[in-house]
Structure 1
Amino acid sequence: MAALIVFLGAVQILGGVLAYLDAVSAIHQILGAVMYGMGVLSLAMGLILSRLTEIKDISEKHLRRVITQSSEKAESAQAPR
């Protein structure tokens, strides 16, 4: 999902630049500038979403490891010697 948002943001940036360069009036220049700005925001949102997904995966792995270690310690403490 994040890759799709990044790709669409990059396409929107390219479209904004092309619209701005090919503008025949002020309204077309404004359209190009807005497209470029929205593309930058979309690109940044996709990158942030990608990074948050990575952080979530790392946190889940760490949490599983902590739970496994704590359950192993609890079992060893309850086992008769």
Structure 2
Amino acid sequence: MPIYEYKCNNCNHCFETLVLGSDKPVCPSCKSPDLSRLISKCGFVTRSTGSSDDSSVSVSSSSACSGCTATNCSSCTSG
């Protein structure tokens, strides 16, 4: 199921929502359909293959912001 992150161009509210088929999301704060879809970071795990010791694992965080799930919006302090 595709969950997308959006920023409302009317009130600058950042949110994520499940989008099914041809559904057109609206801002939950002001109900505006004028939205910009944000580029989301995904969480993943990679294993090192460059040495005989493949025990090193690196994990990427799923969000750059600590206060919300958006990666870059006007309400975020780290974006």
TM-score clears 0.5: no
Q: Decide which structure has greater helix share.
A: 1
- Could you tell me the TM-score, scaled by structure 2's length? 0.25
Q: Decide which structure has the larger Cα Rg and report it.
A: 1
- Could you tell me the TM-score, scaled by structure 1's length? 0.25
The structure whose RCO (Cα within 8 Å, separation 6+) is larger is: 1
